[in-house]
């Protein structure tokens, strides 16, 4: 029997636990604050940011929002980040990616104070993660780990195959799963657009993570019997719906579920976990900055 991994349920449990952490902080006079920064008119980015704000409200985190015109000078964005770095009511800063082409993305990532870098994208935090001393795990990879844990999917000794080598998902997840600890200890293969005989590699996976941004391209032929399939893809494809599109993952769910032991749906799999782990990092950030011990799920 294939088990469908319920990301909404796991994310709800995590949010519920975080509410306790927020109460601990508030009892110490600290209201955790998350700033979202949007310099984009991409509807998907706008939606993601407004969902993150609503999530904050649900668990008692104060949300701050900064919006810049897409044609504003890049300096305006760097200055806005500097202001948020200096604002003691803001414990976490998230600059929604991608930023416009005239903005230096690397400079943006470096501009965020590493203590407020709840995305875990600052080079100092990336370095810490690689050496196994992470401060903030990037939200999507961390969410994938929490899903595996919630469904008792063992990573120790497992062959984990990640399709996609982005800085947001593929690379940090590979680094987490290879760490010498209980939620790691996997043998990790990272595949990408130049990988030869991709299907042979994906079929050998005990844990297969699809994070390539290609709609439904992993089908049953590419999945080994009994594998755990984690679909990180969120692709908008044209469809005869009210919105004119539907969301599909990188995995052809109906075909792949025939082979998988566990599989995440899209939507309702990894997406809610990414959002929950952003709240997790924000609560952690507030605890670190205010020197308050907060129990994290």
Tell whether residue 168 is a contact of ligand GUN (CB under 6 A): yes
Q: Which stretch binds ligand GUN (CB under 6 A): 90-98, 102-110, 219-227, 237-245?
A: 90-98
Question: Which residues have C-beta within 8 Å of that of residue 247, sequence separation ≥ 6?
Answer: 234, 235, 236, 237, 266, 267
Q: Does 40 participate in binding ligand GUN (rule CB under 6 A)?
A: no
Quick note: the x/- pattern for ligand GUN over 41-80, rule CB under 6 A, is ----------------------------------------
94 sits near ligand GUN (criterion: CB under 6 A)? yes
Question: With respect to ligand GUN, which residue has the nearer C-beta, 40 or 256?
Answer: 40
CB-based contact 233:248 (threshold 8 Å): yes
Q: Is residue 96 at the binding interface for ligand GUN, with CB under 6 A as the rule?
A: yes
- Residue whose token pair is 């390539």: 212
Q: Which residues are catalytic?
A: 52, 96, 119
36 lies in the binding site for ligand GUN (CB under 6 A): no
139 binds ligand GUN (CB under 6 A): yes
Total residues binding ligand GUN (CB under 6 A): 8
Q: Which is nearer to ligand GUN, 52 or 259 (CB)?
A: 52
Closest CB 1 distance from ligand GUN, rounded Å: 32
| CA-based R_g, the chain, Å | 19
Q: Which of 97, 130 has the CB closer to ligand GUN? A: 97
Q: Which is nearer to ligand GUN, 113 or 119 (CB)?
A: 119
CB of 94 to ligand GUN, least distance (A): 5
Q: How far is the CB of 96 from ligand GUN (least distance, A)?
A: 5
Is the C-alpha dihedral spanning 184, 147, 144, 252 positive or negative? positive
Does residue 5 bind ligand GUN (CB under 6 A)?
no
| CB closer to ligand GUN out of 38 and 256 | 38
Which of 113, 117, 119, 216 touches ligand GUN by CB under 6 A?
Answer: 119
Q: Which of 52/262 has CB closer to ligand GUN?
A: 52
Residue 51 sits at φ, ψ, to 5 deg, of -65, -40
Question: Per CB under 6 A, which region of 5-13, 94-102, 187-195, 262-270 contacts ligand GUN?
Answer: 94-102
Q: Which of 61, 66, 81, 95 touches ligand GUN by CB under 6 A?
A: 95
Q: Which two tokens stand for residue 216?
A: 């439904």
Angle at CA of residue 173, ends 96 and 147, nearest 5°: 90
Chain residues in the site for ligand GUN (CB under 6 A): 94-97, 119, 139-140, 168
């Amino acid at each position: 029997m294939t088990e469908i991994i319920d990301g909404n349920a796991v994310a709800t449990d995590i949010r519920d636990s975080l509410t306790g952490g927020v109460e601990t902080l508030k009892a110490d006079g600290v209201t955790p604050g998350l700033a979202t920064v949007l310099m984009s008119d991409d509807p998907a980015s706008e939606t993601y940011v407004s969902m993150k704000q609503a999530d904050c409200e649900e668990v008692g985190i104060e949300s701050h929002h900064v919006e810049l015109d897409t044609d504003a000078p890049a300096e305006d964005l760097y200055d806005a980040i500097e202001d948020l770095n200096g604002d003691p009511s803001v414990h976490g800063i998230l600059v929604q990616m991608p930023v416009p082409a005239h903005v230096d993305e690397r400079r943006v990532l470096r501009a965020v104070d590493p203590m407020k870098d709840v995305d875990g994208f600052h080079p100092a935090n990336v370095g810490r993660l690689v050496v196994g001393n992470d401060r903030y795990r990037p939200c999507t990879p961390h969410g994938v780990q929490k899903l595996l844990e919630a469904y008792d999917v063992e990573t120790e000794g497992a062959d984990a195959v990640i399709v996609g080598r982005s800085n947001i998902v593929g690379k940090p997840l590979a680094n987490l799963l290879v760490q010498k600890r209980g939620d790691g200890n996997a043998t990790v293969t990272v595949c990408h657009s130049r990988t030869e005989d991709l299907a042979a590699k994906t079929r050998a996976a005990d844990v297969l993570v699809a994070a390539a941004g290609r709609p439904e391209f992993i089908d049953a032929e590419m999945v080994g019997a009994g594998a755990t399939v984690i679909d990180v893809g969120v692709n908008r494809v044209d469809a005869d719906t009210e919105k004119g599109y539907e969301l599909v993952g990188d995995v052809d769910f109906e075909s792949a579920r025939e082979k998988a032991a566990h599989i995440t749906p899209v939507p309702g799999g990894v997406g809610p976990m990414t959002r929950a782990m952003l709240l997790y990092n924000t609560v952690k950030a507030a605890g670190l900055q205010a020197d308050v011990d907060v129990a994290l799920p």
